[in-house]
Amino acid sequence: MRAVSVNEYTGAQLRRLCLAIGLEHRADEVVEVVADLLGPAGTRGLAEPPLWRSDVADDHSPVEYSVAFEEDGSHTLRMLIECVAAAPGPRQNMAAALAALDRLAERYPLATDKFDEVRDLFLPEDPQGVFTLWFSFVVRSEGPPMVKVYLNPEVRGQAKADSLVRTALSRLGFTGSFDWVLAHQPRPGSTLDRFSFFALDLEDTASARVKLYQSHFAATAAEAQSAAGAADAADTARVAEFTALVGGPGPFLRRPLVSSHTFLASDSARPKGYSLYVPVRDYVRDDAVALDRTRRALRSFGVDTAALERAVRAVTDRPLAEGVGLLAHVSLRMGPPRPGVTVYLSAEAYEVNRPSRARVGAA
């Protein structure tokens, strides 16, 4: 039997996913770009261990899918990808990612000016932490794909994260924004709220964003949501309802709730948007429960669930109750440019996590 490669496996998932959410006309392009970004991690046989223990997904698949349900009923497909070098390592993967970025910039009209302003901060000679540079490749029905880069605030060590983020925001013209975020941290002075990603849209439009993510370790829903006060658009009651529907009552002692603040054109220090990411897989027994909760959350926000069912079936045909982690996170986005719900789906290329009672917590 011929060994299936990561590209073949994820390529088939991506074709089905595109079909499931009305993006079939983009499928060839998506499959081609993802294979290009995956590089040597993609051509490898699935029977071999992953080339690099990527933190993109629990089983170290170097790609994770997400489907954004927009308020107008359309869908956006996003792929979160870690570029892996043939001889992988933090510095080698960073070089592979930068080479991939050059190829993307040849193909698409990317604006890298913001990235160029801050890259020396986030791309040191000797990167630390679980990743250095991830991409998200974002496809909608119309228009060129969008590319987003995720940088690691802890790339120079945890102790330097605050100053790195402060410097980056001020270089990008968001003067005062860092103080603003600090003033709204759920547990001031605590190391339980940690900056996890600094993300940039490589887009030259008024809606190009800078996003700052925080992981709220061992937080109650109320603690995580107190950061929502930092955004004009955050409707705390909706955020609370969403968190309870997807994650249960908390406290969230396993994988952390994550929040992000979106900064747009720098007319004020205040963030313009807020999102909350619930790592649903850590708070359910299995994916049947995770899907059920996700359905309910979508319905309560007025989103039709048919595309969700199709998207889940595009990624796997296994019985949902026989694994956990297919639905990795579910997030709620508030404020411009696009409010809505996003569901993160694991490729499970290497492994399916078995259901676990422990994940549900004490109850």
Residues that bind ligand TRP (CB under 6 A): 55-57, 64, 80, 258, 277, 279, 328-329, 344
Residue 148 to residue 201: CA distance in whole angstroms: 4
- Cα–chain-centroid distance for residue 362? 28
- Tell me whether residue 279 or residue 335 sits nearer to ligand TRP (CB atom): 279
- Tell me whether residue 117 or residue 351 sits nearer to ligand TRP (CB atom): 351
105 three-state secondary structure:
helix
Residue 176 to residue 178: CA distance in whole angstroms: 6
Q: Which of 287, 285, 273 is nearest to 239 (CA)?
A: 273
Q: Output the six-digit token pair for 76.
A: 């956006």
Give residue number: closest CB to ligand TRP.
277
Amino acid at 351: E
- Phi–psi pair at 77, nearest 5 degrees: -105, 130
- Shortest distance (Å) from residue 271 CB to ligand TRP: 17
Q: Output the six-digit token pair for 241.
A: 């309802």
- Tell me whether residue 67 or residue 86 sits nearer to ligand TRP (CB atom): 67
Please state, in angstroms and as integers, the Cα–Cα distance from residue 196 to each residue in 158, 177, 259, 274, following that order. 10, 17, 10, 15
- Shortest distance (Å) from residue 279 CB to ligand TRP: 6
- Shortest distance (Å) from residue 170 CB to ligand TRP: 25
In Å, the largest CA–CA distance within the chain is: 60
- Tell me whether residue 171 or residue 254 sits nearer to ligand TRP (CB atom): 254
- Tell me whether residue 9 or residue 277 sits nearer to ligand TRP (CB atom): 277
- Shortest distance (Å) from residue 352 CB to ligand TRP: 16
Annotate 87-105 with b (16+ C-beta within 10 A) or e (fewer): ebebeebbebbeebbeebe
How many CB atoms are located within 10 Å of the residue 285 CB? 15
- Shortest distance (Å) from residue 62 CB to ligand TRP: 11
Intra-chain end-to-end CA distance of the chain, in Å? 46
- Tell me whether residue 141 or residue 191 sits nearer to ligand TRP (CB atom): 191
- Tell me whether residue 195 or residue 344 sits nearer to ligand TRP (CB atom): 344
- Tell me whether residue 7 or residue 54 sits nearer to ligand TRP (CB atom): 54
Please state, in angstroms and as integers, the Cα–Cα distance from residue 326 to each residue in 26, 115, 282, 352, following that order. 23, 32, 11, 8
- Tell me whether residue 196 or residue 226 sits nearer to ligand TRP (CB atom): 196
- Tell me whether residue 256 or residue 335 sits nearer to ligand TRP (CB atom): 256
- Shortest distance (Å) from residue 176 CB to ligand TRP: 26
- Shortest distance (Å) from residue 278 CB to ligand TRP: 9
- Shortest distance (Å) from residue 28 CB to ligand TRP: 25
- Shortest distance (Å) from residue 344 CB to ligand TRP: 5
* Residue 290 contacts residue 324 (beta carbons within 8 Å): yes
- Shortest distance (Å) from residue 213 CB to ligand TRP: 7
Residues 6+ apart with CB under 8 A from 348: 57, 59, 61, 315, 316, 323, 325, 326
Please state, in angstroms and as integers, the Cα–Cα distance from residue 235 to each residue in 223, 229, 230, 232, 239, following that order. 15, 8, 11, 8, 6
